[in-house]
């Protein structure tokens, strides 16, 4: 068996994959697909769970250690007969019987992934090894949520999947970006050596309702600051760019990748590119025109530009994002206002 990689090369697979569970082909309704979502109590994970639970043939198991996620994000499913929530750290082995593994468990906000960098590396390396071991034992297909951070501070713009990146291996972000790079390597080695069915998504900055209010990422920071009448903290120089994808588009892309025929890596993101100053101006205009913008010190190794080339996602998955930044920000504002208990001011 052979599979195409992002460069169009063939990866030779030496063994056939383990046989999947007979349930996948069961004639009579039980649950056709038993799906594990690691990190399912987090921001993207909980939206993914909502979408997967819409299909009554899916049974969903979430494992999460609640480091950055919360049971609150899943409260509508707790007690549902097709849903199970397990407090578990992916750095420990896990024995469950499943057909699909969406492997998201990993803190994503720089503040949180830098808080305990050794634990972040363990989560990416040991956590991914454990999930691959599980996939191998039960013959499950596994999808890894990798990141645009594997491109580091990119010297190529926009970033195509073929680009190998410009990553500092010893910097304060390395626990995350190098951790994800090793996780991708492990995925391909298990694929080549053991025939595991793999999928790799390279996710670009995603935002939406349910992000932690004090998550520290830029969109959640600006929205919370605008609602609280606090200055928007643009980290210097403010000309650095990001491309922001709304969470429902992201979930749609991840499911298409999982159920499609291509291993990836495939970029999933919205190519609309903004400087941080432009983002601040959009938030100001849409949410609170009276708020000020303050330039503050940046953190080391902050990538200067980031924009996905999504040709592969379009051609191979028939996917492209639908929601623009200016359409998505108000949905997030509504969620943040509700959680902060601050209604929108009436403008006369």
Ligand X SMILES: O=C(O)[C@H]1O[C@H](OP(=O)(O)OP(=O)(O)OC[C@H]2O[C@@H](n3ccc(=O)[nH]c3=O)[C@H](O)[C@@H]2O)[C@H](O)[C@@H](O)[C@@H]1O
Ligand Y SMILES: NC(=O)c1ccc[n+]([C@@H]2O[C@H](COP(=O)([O-])OP(=O)(O)OC[C@H]3O[C@@H](n4cnc5c(N)ncnc54)[C@H](O)[C@@H]3O)[C@@H](O)[C@H]2O)c1
> Catalytic residue positions?
176
- Of 33, 86, 13, which Cα lies nearest the Cα of 263? 13
What's the CA dihedral at 342, 244, 110, 266 to 10 degrees?
140
Contact predicate 22/30, CB 8 Å:
no
Residue 150 CB, shortest distance to ligand X, in Å, is 8
> Does 234 interact with ligand Y (rule: CB under 6 A)?
no
Residue 213 CB, shortest distance to ligand Y, in Å, is 12
> Does 177 interact with ligand Y (rule: CB under 6 A)?
no
Residue 144 CB, shortest distance to ligand Y, in Å, is 8
> Does 39 interact with ligand Y (rule: CB under 6 A)?
yes
Residue 67 binds which one of ligand Y, ligand X, none, with CB within 5 to 8 A depending on kind?
ligand Y
> Which residue, 45 or 264, has its beta carbon nearer to ligand Y?
45
> Which residue, 66 or 164, has its beta carbon nearer to ligand Y?
66
Q: Alpha-carbon distance 175 to 168, whole Å?
A: 10
Which of these segments, 43-51, 225-233, 276-284, 290-298, binds ligand Y (CB under 6 A)?
43-51
> Does 151 interact with ligand Y (rule: CB under 6 A)?
no
Q: In what order do the strands lie in the sheet with 83-87?
A: 83-87, 58-64, 33-38, 100-103, 141-147, 198-203, 266-268
**CB hemisphere CA count around 229 (13 angstroms):** 5
| Binds ligand Y by CB under 6 A, chosen from 69, 154, 264, 265 | 69
Residue 235 binds which one of ligand X, ligand Y, none, with CB within 5 to 8 A depending on kind?
ligand X
Number of CB atoms found within 10 A of residue 10's CB: 10
Residue 288 CB, shortest distance to ligand Y, in Å, is 24
The pattern of x and - marking residues 109 through 138 that bind ligand Y according to CB under 6 A reads --------------x---x-----------
Residue 127 binds which one of ligand X, ligand Y, none, with CB within 5 to 8 A depending on kind?
ligand Y
Residue 282 CB, shortest distance to ligand Y, in Å, is 18
Backbone angles phi, psi at 339, to 5 degrees: -70, -35
Residue 154 CB, shortest distance to ligand X, in Å, is 11
- Of 223, 225, 268, 266, which Cα lies nearest the Cα of 245? 268
Subset of residues 300 to 339 that bind ligand Y, contact rule: CB under 6 A: none
Q: Find residue 34's DSSP bridge partners.
A: 59
Would strands 241-243 and 273-275 be described as parallel, antiparallel, or unpaired?
Answer: antiparallel
> Does 200 interact with ligand Y (rule: CB under 6 A)?
no
Q: Alpha-carbon distance 337 to 117, whole Å?
A: 32
| Binds ligand Y by CB under 6 A, chosen from 89, 153, 197, 333 | 89
- The angle at the Cα of 99, spanning 97 to 102, to the nearest 5 degrees, equals 105
> Which residue, 128 or 147, has its beta carbon nearer to ligand X?
147
> Which residue, 210 or 262, has its beta carbon nearer to ligand Y?
210
- Which residues form the interface with ligand X (CB under 6 A)? 108-110, 147-149, 203-205, 217-218, 221, 233-235, 240, 242, 276, 298, 302
> Does 66 interact with ligand Y (rule: CB under 6 A)?
yes
Residue 242 CB, shortest distance to ligand X, in Å, is 5
> Which residue, 221 or 288, has its beta carbon nearer to ligand Y?
221
Instruction: Find out whether the peptide bond into 318 is cis, omega within 30 degrees of 0.
Output: no
The pattern of x and - marking residues 282 through 301 that bind ligand Y according to CB under 6 A reads --------------------
Binding site for ligand Y (CB under 6 A): 39, 41-45, 64-69, 89-91, 104-108, 123, 127, 145, 147, 203, 205-206
């Amino acid at each position: 068996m052979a599979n195409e990689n992002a460069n169009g090369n063939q990866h030779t697979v030496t063994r056939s994959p383990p046989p999947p569970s007979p349930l996948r082909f069961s004639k009579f309704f039980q649950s056709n697909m038993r799906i594990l979502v690691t990190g399912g109590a987090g921001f993207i994970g909980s939206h993914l769970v909502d979408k997967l639970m819409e299909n009554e043939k899916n049974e969903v198991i979430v494992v999460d250690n609640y480091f950055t996620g919360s049971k609150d994000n899943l409260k509508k499913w707790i007690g549902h007969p097709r849903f199970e929530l397990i407090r578990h750290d992916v750095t420990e082995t896990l024995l469950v019987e499943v057909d699909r593994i969406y492997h998201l468990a990993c803190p994503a906000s720089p503040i949180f992934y830098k808080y305990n960098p050794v634990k972040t590396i363990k989560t990416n390396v040991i956590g991914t090894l454990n999930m691959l071991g599980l996939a191998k034992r039960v013959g499950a297909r596994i999808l890894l949520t990798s990141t645009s951070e594997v491109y580091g501070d990119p010297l190529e713009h926009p970033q195509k999947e073929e680009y190998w990146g410009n990553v500092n291996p010893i910097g304060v972000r390395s626990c995350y970006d190098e951790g994800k790079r090793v996780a991708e390597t492990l995925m391909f080695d298990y694929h080549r050596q053991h025939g595991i069915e793999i999928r790799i998504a390279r996710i670009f900055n995603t935002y939406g309702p349910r992000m932690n209010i004090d998550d520290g990422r830029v969109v959640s920071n600006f929205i919370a600051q605008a609602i609280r009448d606090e200055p928007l903290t643009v980290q210097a120089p403010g000309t650095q760019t990001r491309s922001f994808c709304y969470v429902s588009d992201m979930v749609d892309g991840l499911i298409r990748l999982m159920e499609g025929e291509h291993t990836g890596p495939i970029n999933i993101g919205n190519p609309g590119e903004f400087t941080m100053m432009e983002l601040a101006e959009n938030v100001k205009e849409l949410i609170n025109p009276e708020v000020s913008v303050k330039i503050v010190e940046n953190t080391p190794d902050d990538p200067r530009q980031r924009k996905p080339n999504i040709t592969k996602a379009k051609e191979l998955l028939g996917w492209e994002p639908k929601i623009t930044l200016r359409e998505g920000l108000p949905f997030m504002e509504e969620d943040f206002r509700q959680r902060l208990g601050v209604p929108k001011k009436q403008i006369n």
